[in-house]
Amino acid sequence: MRAGPSQEEIRRHNLGALLRHVHVHGATSRAELTTTLGLNRSTIGALTADLAAAGLVSEGGARETGRAGRPSLVVRPASERVYAYALSIEVDRLRAARVGLGGRILDIRTAERPRGTLAAEAVGPLTGFVKELHQAVPAGAVCVGSGVAVCGMVRRDDGMVRLGPTMGWVDEPLGAALAEALGGDRGVLVGNVSDVCALAEHTRGAAVGCDHVIYLYGDVGVGAGIIAGGRRVTGHGGYGGEVGHMVVHPGGRPCLCGSRGCWETEIGEHALIQAAGRSGAVVGREAVLAVVDAADRGDSQAQAAVRQVGNWLGFGVANLVNIFNPETVIFGGTLRDVYLAAAAHVRSRLNSNGLPACREHVRLRTPKLGDDAPLIGAAELAFEQLLADPLDAVAG
């Protein structure tokens, strides 16, 4: 166990705590910061001055408190000046955004991504987007790094995409390729889309204040971003959360991972589309929504498909609830649409398979950040270093 921190480490910690607070909660008065951080007024004043001098926060615009006495100055994150690039490689599209400190999307570019292309083939278009975004950056603004959300298994250390079974990806050095293409000495941090969405919803979405969260992200495949005790659970190499490859149906359908009966073979978009008798040209969210709509209009085959997939969705959720005893389970990607259409089946299966103590307080939720979650979360990855040591991160 390490010994306690030095005075200088405490100062850096406090700078990070203050900056993180305004990054997450937005404009905050000095008086609120004093209460929240448990530091005295003069310390808050000194920390704010240091952060303002580094261009990370601005002060002013005293808010009316409604109480007597001098109104307290308000500290705001420098969202226009300090930003990260957030990139997202999804099954059907590529996106790049410039995200300001405070989690605000300032500018964005989107393109379709043809299925069947490699992860490496995303590097060119995404780099082009970043160059475009860069041209609109105001003078004096500072980029603190780039974060990437990708629908594959990512090695934590270097952003190598080890496997994207539904995409045909094997060992693609995405982190290194993007770092080279984007240039500069700021790092490129790559994360699995489920982990990144969990981070986003935990920081500023449907799981704020929850310490035990499972964020399920579905498209062709299914993964989970897991937060336990307030911290991300990503495993030894960063590959944890592959709940889509939890086998729930021994001897079931073959999975692209090489196994059989994996959860994603029962709840991924193909399962729903096939069960509805609609395996055709339309794929992706559009096809999922078409089945859900048809079920809603009374199409009995679509209704049976929604029931079947909803039942398997609840089945796997019950397993995860027994394993993690979470407060909140969030259904993202196409699983959002499936959950909304089949909530009663999901809950019923959870009630029959989940242990009462494990499930009694669990809330089933849809994402609050919607489709922005991968970008907001990817930006959070990039902001983490800044928030850990604000002055060091902008000094380089």
For a copy of itself, the binding residues (CB under 8 A) are 1-5, 9-11, 13-14, 16-17, 20-21, 37-39, 153, 155, 162-163, 211-212, 224, 226, 228-229, 231-243, 245-250, 257-259, 315, 318-320, 322-327, 352-353, 355-358, 360-362
- Min dist. Cβ of residue 251 to a copy of itself (A): 10
By beta-carbon proximity to a copy of itself, the closer residue of 328 and 334 is: 328
CA distance 261 to 249: 4
By beta-carbon proximity to a copy of itself, the closer residue of 117 and 319 is: 319
Which region, left, alpha or beta, applies to residue 355 given φ > 0 means left and ψ of -120 to 50 means alpha?
beta
| Helix, strand or coil, per DSSP, at residue 34 | helix
By beta-carbon proximity to a copy of itself, the closer residue of 155 and 253 is: 155
CA-wise closest residue to 291 among 300, 283, 302, 281: 302
CA distance 39 to 256: 54
CA distance 200 to 212: 14
By beta-carbon proximity to a copy of itself, the closer residue of 49 and 323 is: 323
By beta-carbon proximity to a copy of itself, the closer residue of 26 and 71 is: 26
By beta-carbon proximity to a copy of itself, the closer residue of 88 and 234 is: 234
* Three-point CA angle 280, 286, 292, nearest 5°: 95
**Could you tell me how far CA 150 lies from the centroid of its own chain?**
10
By beta-carbon proximity to a copy of itself, the closer residue of 49 and 355 is: 355
- Min dist. Cβ of residue 5 to a copy of itself (A): 7
CA distance 152 to 175: 12
For the CA atoms of 200, 206, 209, 215, what is the dihedral angle to 10 degrees? Answer: -60
- Min dist. Cβ of residue 203 to a copy of itself (A): 11
Cross-sheet strand order for the sheet of 93-100:
104-112, 93-100, 82-89, 142-150, 188-192
